[in-house]
Structures are given as structure tokens and as C-alpha cells.
Structure 1
Amino acid sequence: MTRVPLDSNILIYAEIEPDSEKGIRSADLILRVARDGVLPVQVLGEFLRFVQRRFPNALDEAIRQARLYQSVFITPPTTEAIINRASGLARAHHLQFWDCVVCASSAGAGATALLTEDMQDGRTLDGLRLINPFDAANTKSIDDLLVG
């Protein structure tokens, strides 16, 4: 299986809306990707910030969950090199800086595709293909990615 990173929206759906269609899909992806999956530190931070802002009473549980994710996924840090690479991506492609941090960190961990709902589906950014896991048209390519 290819090393596949997940964006924060997948964690959010799985943890906050577990019974929704996106929550069920997200939980499935988390389980399928966990062996060789990547969760950049930025993704964990975005997940925790979302919970802190929207569901402050659930923050302690979210912190426990983030620690569990860290024990199962590769969690590359946001280093000076990642910040510099992300800065270049943000400038060259006119994208949100923190999204570029996720992309740079994912690519730095050896990934060639990022599962994300928030970025431009199908776009390739610095060798990293962005794939919306909630678009049914992407199901086969995600399945191929996860078994390949």
C-alpha cells in the first residue's frame, strides 16, 4: 500500500459526525489507511482546534484521540524545511499557507496523494495528488491507491 495522508476534515467527520455518511466513510478510510497512513502534525492541530472552538467540552476526549492517532499513524513534524517548502507552494499556487504545510509535510513523508475535502480535487501540487474522498467518482482511484 502507498503511504496515504489524511486531512483534518476526515478526522473531524469520523469523530464529530460518526453516524453521518461522511463520518462512516471517514472512519472506514482511517481504518484502511492506518498501517502506512500519514497525519501531519498540522492536521492533528487543526482537528484539536476545531473541537476546542465548536465542542469545548469534548476537548479532553479529542486530545486522547489525537494521541491514539499519533500511535498508529506516521506523524511528520512541521519543521523549518516544511515551513519553507510550504511558503514556496503558497506563493507559487496562491493557496492557503496551512494547507500548503499539510501538503509539504505529506510529500516530505513520501506520499504521492492526499485525501482531503478542502482542496482542489484532482489537482497535483508538488507531486502530491489531491483527492476528495467523498466524491464517488474517486472511489476506484482511492481503492487502487490503498491496495497498491
Structure 2
Amino acid sequence: MNFTFIDTNILIYAHDKGQAGKYKIAQESLQQLWETDTGTLSTQVLQEFYSVATRKLKPAMSHREARDIVAAYGEWCVMNTDTQLLVSASMLCERHSVSWWDALVIEAALRSGATTLLSEDLQDGRQFGTVTIRNPFAGD
């Protein structure tokens, strides 16, 4: 089965109605992953989501609402950020000239066994080992 790793920005757009076009695409992407039970993510993604949703969204999401979303997507959480992930991500960051935060997401996607990483922040079609980056908003 092919799993898809979700970056924080996709999760945020799926809950940000102020970004109408991206909201719809992100919602549809996540819905398809729920239906096929092929979505995956990491504790880092859930931590970042909670922080952005409760502080940066306009209007900000309530703590309770953000907590409920984190709990729901916790079903997909297969990767915890541990020391080895940090070390591996630092090498990936250095080797591929990607940001530290992106390297953490990429490394978590690799370790999760995902074949696709949905992200707006990385080049659509770029590959890192067995993971291919897909930007669901490319072509908008």
C-alpha cells in the first residue's frame, strides 16, 4: 500500500477557510486519504499545526478545536521525533540544501514508509530516496 505523508501546510490549509482555493484542494486531498486509510504524519506536523492554528490563523482557532483536530489526526501519527530522526534530518539538510524544518518532515516521511509527501514548501516532483514530493496546489 502506498502511504502519503502530510506536511503541516496542507493540514493548515484544510482548516483555513480564508484560503478558499487551497482550502478546497487540501480538504479533498485529506478526505481521499481518510477514505483510503493511506495518510500519515509525524508529531512535528501535529505540533506545528497546533501552534499555527491557535496563533496565526485569522481568526485563530480555539485551543479546544485545535486539540480535537490533533487528536483526530493522531490516528495517522506514525513518527515521533526522536534523536535518530534529528541526526538523520541534519545530514539530509546538509546534503540536499533544504531547511531544517523541511528536512525533519522529509526524514519522517522516509522513515514512515510513505512514497509521497504532500507539501507546498518543496519542489513538486523532487525525490528524496523513495519519497516523491507532490504539491497539490501546483498549477493553480
Q: Same fold (TM over 0.5)?
A: yes
Corresponding position of 2:45: 43
**Structure 1 residue 40: Cα displacement:** 1.3
Alpha-carbon displacement from aligned partner over 1:14-70 (angstroms, at most 9, x marks no partner) = 112277121111111111113121111111111111123214552321111111111
1:49-60 correspondence to structure 2 within 5 Å: 49-55=51-57, 56=60, 58-60=62-64
Greater share of helix: 1
1:127 aligns with 2:137: no
Greater than 6 Å deviation, 4+ residue runs? none
Instruction: Read off the aligned partner of 1:3 and give its amino acid letter.
Output: F
**1:102 pairs with one of 100, 105, 111:** 105
CA distance, structure 1, for counterparts of residue 78 and residue 55 of structure 2? 23
1:134-145 correspondence to structure 2 within 5 Å: 134-136=137-139
Conserved? CA contact 1:18–1:27, under 8 Å: no
**2:67 pairs with one of 58, 63, 69:** 63
Corresponding position of 2:90: 87
Tell me the secondary structure at the aligned position of residue 88 of structure 1.
helix
CA distance, structure 2, for counterparts of residue 46 and residue 90 of structure 1? 19
Conserved? CA contact 1:36–1:74, under 8 Å: no
Conserved? CA contact 1:42–1:98, under 8 Å: no
Among the aligned pairs, what percent are the same residue?
Answer: 31
- CA RMSD between the two structures: 1.9
TM-score by length of 2: 0.87
Instruction: Read off the aligned partner of 1:42 and give its amino acid letter.
Output: Q
Corresponding position of 1:25: 25
TM-score by length of 1: 0.83
**Structure 1 residue 84: Cα displacement:** 1.2
The gaps in structure 1 that reach 5 residues or longer are 138-148
Instruction: Read off the aligned partner of 1:53 and give its amino acid letter.
Output: R
